[in-house]
């Protein structure tokens, strides 16, 4: 269990604090559960009532919060501050160490310094693994793939041949990257496979949630842009291009060749048909079906998706109509 | 192949039966397919016409079914009776035996009596496995997790560190439990990871379908209540609490911190946004998007979800409107 | 890298071509990217403008395309022709060779000639694997299953006991076949498991996308018909019967005992409730919820699904209504 003084924490996040700097903190906990050896935080003001009741030893709060408490550490953004603190001191997790003798590693694979590989993992020919990257057990990394520095690949991930993965990526258990796209030519009443010979390229700082599948391009590349975070059980079709710093919440599906701009937010269970252009900073509400291009800075909702205001107007009109007719 | 006398079956389920008790039964089959060495059952009266045509050696029927047949075994609930009979005599499946020499088991792991572990499975430090629990091949159970007695964990399941699983749980292939929740703090145009340091706790008698993902809590616990049955490819977000004896059909998604009461039924492909309170005995129709709290004993439907009656009223009004306008 | 003369390609696909037959081709590329050592194709006329700009060494075009270019190879169906060419010369992928000494293979398993099995794969008792079938690493094939000739099973696939798989099937990473169907009998407020003792039968020429789950029948069979292609993260419930040459796009879900005819097309994220009969050549638009039987040759859309024309009529009526009321 880590143990850090409040003073060290305050200095690290550049906080304002008038209390006892020598008190030790051993964990982070929610306001309602924290004890006096734990740090907590207020990121949403609707929980302000819990502040006085909380038994936390120290609490991150916004700079301009009204009131006074010598346990408070004032910062610009408590949520970002707690992320930094947890990452630095309280986020450690048991990880494989060293190269397991029970892994199957091709002689031509190149492993960086301080790489860890768990048992029952297969590393194919000409694979390149960057420094400080950790690969858990039962992972498959097929021939010719490369993975950058400081990545974590959790158990039972499958990475097909020729995949490129950047630095500081986190890939959760059961993810499949580089599987064949869904491409068939109909001839004489039968579907004939179009071999999928492109690749997947994942840029730096991408996180991919458990069970997500990302298909390789038919030709060329499927791309996940830098800093994009993908939740669990998301499906990315062949030749899709996702921009930088996007958020794709769980069970989203994106059909082949659709392109998303930067900073796009897609809520859970939404889908996109193929060959669309989705602009920058577009927001898609949950369970929407996006069937047309969407320009920059637009919020859409519904199945088929339409601008928020139009969706709301239709819902309201239908509600009134239903009331009237039922009289 | 098992072989059981009808007399033994009748006694076990306390049925009423006037036929030959010594006849042997070797399998269970549907009415239309069963032969005279097989047992069948009538659980839905719309299949009554198949009763006389069936060649089954014995048939479970409801107590008050009209007619007479010396093959009939009358019971209160034929569906529950067949479940018990199949579980006792006809449900066996090939399972790993003993501890595979090809598994990787940490020295500090504690295995109960009669535990089976398949090849290429990894058991981390301080893991505790209860008595009579069977773990198939290629499974990962990370450090500090514990699993109760009489569980079955099918191949390629991944259980992250610190997970608690109760007794008599069944976890199907490809399930991921304890992966990181989807939590990021936006700062300077980039998403920064909030380390997810809570756990998942699964109570007794839970079954989890293939490919389902259950994220660990950010802080605290994600909980699946006793007796809840989860189908395939379901996504459970961080800090979600599911009550007891719920049914979540396939491809359902539940966003972070939402809480479901007991005996909630959620049909396939429905979703819940985060931080909701869903009451006891709530029923959610297929493909609904639940965006607000739902009180006890309510049936909801639609995207966004609304009470069944309101949904039906709106659909009817829209149908009438479409007819009128098209004239 | 393969190298094939244009003449050999032209002969193989029976094309019309007036250019240099001796020029060599080493790859296939999109019109915009191809260089003069590469072959490209025009399958969608909206990209015709790229034809003259393309630097491709040879281009497959439709027989009746207007214009003239000595790089053009005229064929009846460029998309089908490129599929055949890529399959013959340009679709090769690194594959396991031989039987890994690190696999766990039951003594009673029967392997055909030229079978490859990767490390950390488990083959159960009485499994039969056909000739020329390749099984990657970390795969589980449970007791009594059989797989036909010329199949490919990618890493981390799990095939439960008793599954039958035909010839020339491709099963992508993370697929689960034969997991228990979702069947419970409610008794005294608890859900009691109905053992699932049927099997899954997959006919010839089926492809199954990454992460898809197919449940075994409660009794009898779950069936995937010949030539059907299933995308990623699809869920097929117990006792479902899918006809021949169907397409099921990603994240589709089909509940128990529903039957689809032949040549059915289901777009992404659509769902079917249980016990339905869906006719031949039915088309289901994306994100639809099919809750009733659908006759042959019908196109449906919506949640709940209705014929295309009715869906369009209602959308138009609602759009007009919303406009009017907001005035």
What residue spans define the domains of chain B?
4-90, 104-309
Nearest to B221 by CA among B281, B181, B254, B260: B181
What's the pLDDT score for residue A48? 86
| B106: pLDDT strictly greater than 60 | yes
Cβ within 8 Å, pair B119-C104: yes
Give yes or no for a contact between B182 and A209, defined as CB atoms under 8 angstroms apart: yes
Residue in chain C lying closest to A234 (CA): C233
Q: Which chain B residues have a beta carbon less than 8 Å from that of C156?
A: 138, 156, 174
**Spatial separation of the C-alpha atoms in residues C236 and C177, rounded to whole Å:** 9
Give the tens place of pLDDT for each residue, A98-154: 999 999 999 999 999 999 999 999 999 999 999 999 999 999 999 999 999 999 999
Give the tens place of pLDDT for each residue, C282-320: 999 999 999 999 999 999 999 999 999 999 999 999 999
What's the mean pLDDT when you consider all of chain A?
A: 96
Q: Which two tokens stand for residue B310?
A: 């309101």
| A214: pLDDT strictly greater than 70 | yes
| A196: pLDDT strictly greater than 50 | yes
Which of A138, A158, A220 faces C120 most closely, judged by CB atoms?
A: A138
Which of A219, A235, A313 faces C232 most closely, judged by CB atoms?
A: A235
| C253: pLDDT strictly greater than 90 | yes
Cβ within 8 Å, pair A30-B273: no
What's the mean pLDDT when you consider all of chain B?
A: 96
What's the pLDDT score for residue B325? 52
Is C238 a catalytic site residue? yes
Q: Which chain B residues have a beta carbon less than 8 Å from that of A227?
A: 190-191
Q: If you search the block for the tokens 């992460």, which residue do you land on? A: C211
Residues 6+ apart with CB under 8 A from C12: C84, C85, C88
- Shortest Cα distance, chain C CAs vs residue B56, angstroms: 14
Contacts by B97-101 with C-beta closer than 8 Å and gap 24+? B100/B137, B100/C104
Cβ within 8 Å, pair B211-A209: no
- DSSP line for A119-173: TT-EE-TT-EE-TT-EE-TT-EE-TT-EE-TT-EE-TT-EE-TT-EE-SS-EE-T
**Spatial separation of the C-alpha atoms in residues C196 and B91, rounded to whole Å:** 7
What's the mean pLDDT when you consider all of chain C?
A: 96
| A33: pLDDT strictly greater than 80 | yes
Q: Looking at per-residue confidence, does B1 or B99 come out higher?
A: B99
Q: What is the mean pLDDT of residues B62-86?
A: 95
What's the pLDDT score for residue B44? 81
Residue in chain B lying closest to C317 (CA): B322
Residues 6+ apart with CB under 8 A from C85: C9, C12, C13, C28, C39, C60
| B181: pLDDT strictly greater than 80 | yes
Q: What is the mean pLDDT of residues B118-127?
A: 98
Which of A192, A291, A320 faces C325 most closely, judged by CB atoms?
A: A320
Task: Band the pLDDT of C49: cuts 50, 70, 90.
Answer: confident
| C154: pLDDT strictly greater than 50 | yes
**Spatial separation of the C-alpha atoms in residues B96 and B98, rounded to whole Å:** 7
CB neighbour burial string for C156-165, b if at least 16 within 10 angstroms, e if fewer: bbbbbbbbbb
Which of C164, C172, C238, C263 is catalytic? The answer is C238
Please tell me the number of Cα atoms within 13 Å of A152 on its side-chain side: 16
Question: Max Cα separation, chain B?
Answer: 80
Which of A118, A207, A319 faces B314 most closely, judged by CB atoms?
A: A319
Residue in chain C lying closest to A310 (CA): C322
Nearest to A109 by CA among A122, A94, A89, A123: A123
Task: Band the pLDDT of B298: cuts 50, 70, 90.
Answer: very high
Q: Which of B43-47, B297-301, C219-223 has the lowest mean pLDDT?
A: B43-47
What percentage of residues in chain A have a pLDDT greater than 90? Answer: 94
Residues 6+ apart with CB under 8 A from A160: A142, A145, A176, A177, A178, A179, A200, A216, C93, C154, C173
CA distances for C6 relative to C3, C10, C11, angstroms? 10, 6, 9
| B1: pLDDT strictly greater than 90 | no
Contacting subunits of B (3+ beta carbon pairs below 8 A): A, C
Cβ within 8 Å, pair B180-A209: yes
- Shortest Cα distance, chain C CAs vs residue A265, angstroms: 19
pTM of the model: 0.97
Which of C80, C120, C138 faces A185 most closely, judged by CB atoms?
A: C80
Looking at domain C104-309, which of 1.10.3720.10, 2.160.10.10, 3.40.50.20, 3.40.50.800 is its CATH number? 2.160.10.10
Quote the CATH superfamily of domain C4-90. MurE/MurF, N-terminal domain (3.40.1390.10)
What's the pLDDT score for residue B327? 44
- DSSP line for A183-241: -EEEETTEEEE-----EEEE-TT-EE-TT-EEEPPSSSEEEE-TT-EE-TT-EE-TT-E
Nearest to A75 by CA among A2, A11, A8, A3: A11
Which of C102, C229, C326 faces A104 most closely, judged by CB atoms?
A: C102
Mapped onto helix, strand or coil, the DSSP state of residue A7 is helix
**Spatial separation of the C-alpha atoms in residues B201 and B317, rounded to whole Å:** 45
Mapped onto helix, strand or coil, the DSSP state of residue B314 is helix
Give the tens place of pLDDT for each residue, C92-131: 999 999 999 999 999 999 999 999 999 999 999 999 999 9
Q: Which chain A residues have a beta carbon less than 8 Å from that of B158?
A: 154-156, 173-174, 210
| B326: pLDDT strictly greater than 80 | no
Which of A164, A172, A238, A263 is catalytic? The answer is A238
Q: Which letter does DSSP use for residue A297 in this model?
A: T
Q: Which chain C residues have a beta carbon less than 8 Å from that of B321?
A: 314, 317-318, 321
Cβ within 8 Å, pair A210-B176: yes
| A327: pLDDT strictly greater than 50 | no
CB pairs under 8 A between A and C: 183
Q: What is the mean pLDDT of residues B181-205?
A: 97
Rg (CA), chain B: 24
| A325: pLDDT strictly greater than 80 | no
Contacting subunits of C (3+ beta carbon pairs below 8 A): A, B
Which residue in B108, B157, B184 has the most chain A C-beta atoms within 10 A of its own C-beta, making it the best mutation to test that interface?
A: B184
Residue in chain B lying closest to C318 (CA): B318
- Shortest Cα distance, chain B CAs vs residue A190, angstroms: 29
**Spatial separation of the C-alpha atoms in residues B298 and B217, rounded to whole Å:** 28
- Shortest Cα distance, chain A CAs vs residue B132, angstroms: 25
Task: Band the pLDDT of C327: cuts 50, 70, 90.
Answer: very low
Cβ within 8 Å, pair A213-C207: no
Residue in chain B lying closest to A93 (CA): B161
User: What's CA B231's distance to the chain center, in Å?
Assistant: 5
What's the pLDDT score for residue A2? 83
Cβ within 8 Å, pair C195-B91: yes
Which residue in C88, C96, C156, C312 has the most chain A C-beta atoms within 10 A of its own C-beta, making it the best mutation to test that interface?
A: C156
Torsion of CA C113, C119, C124, C130, to 10 degrees: -20
| A288: pLDDT strictly greater than 70 | yes
What's the pLDDT score for residue C43? 81
Give yes or no for a contact between C212 and C194, defined as CB atoms under 8 angstroms apart: no
Residue in chain A lying closest to C82 (CA): A194
Query: Which region, left, alpha or beta, applies to residue C126 given φ > 0 means left and ψ of -120 to 50 means alpha?
Result: left
Cβ within 8 Å, pair A155-B122: yes
């Amino acid at each position: 269990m880590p143990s850090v003084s409040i003073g060290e924490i305050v200095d690290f996040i550049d906080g304002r604090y008038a209390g006892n700097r020598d008190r030790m903190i051993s964990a982070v906990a929610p306001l309602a559960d924290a004890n006096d050896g734990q740090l907590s935080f207020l990121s949403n003001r609707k929980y302000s009532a819990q502040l006085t009741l909380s038994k936390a030893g120290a609490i991150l709060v916004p700079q301009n919060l009204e009131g006074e408490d010598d346990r408070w550490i004032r910062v610009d953004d408590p949520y970002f501050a707690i992320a930094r603190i947890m990452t630095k001191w309280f986020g450690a997790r048991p990880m494989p160490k060293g190269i397991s003798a029970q892994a199957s590693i091709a002689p031509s694979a190149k492993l960086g310094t301080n790489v860890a590989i768990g048992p029952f993992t297969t590393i194919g020919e000409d694979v390149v693994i960057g420094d400080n990257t950790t690969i858990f057990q039962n992972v498959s990394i097929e021939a010719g793939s490369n993975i950058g520095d400081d990545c974590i690949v959790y158990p039972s991930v499958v990475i097909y041949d020729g995949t490129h993965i950047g630095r500081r990526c986190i890939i959760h258990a059961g993810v499949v990257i580089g599987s064949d796209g869904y491409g068939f030519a109909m001839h004489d009443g039968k579907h004939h496979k179009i071999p999928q010979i492109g690749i997947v390229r994942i840029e730096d700082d991408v996180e991919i949630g458990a069970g997500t599948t990302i298909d390789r391009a038919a030709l060329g590349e499927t791309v996940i842009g830098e800093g994009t975070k993908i939740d669990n059980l998301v499906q990315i079709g062949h030749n899709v291009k996702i921009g930088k710093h996007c958020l794709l919440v769980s069970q989203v599906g994106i059909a082949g060749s659709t392109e998303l701009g930067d900073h796009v937010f897609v809520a859970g269970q939404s889908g996109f048909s193929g060959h669309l252009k989705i602009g920058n900073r577009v927001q898609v509400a949950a369970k929407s079906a996006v069937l047309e291009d969407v320009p920059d800075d637009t919020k859409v909702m519904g199945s088929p998706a339409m601008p928020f205001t139009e969706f709301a107007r239709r819902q309201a009109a239908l509600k009134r109509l239903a009331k009237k007719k039922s009289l």
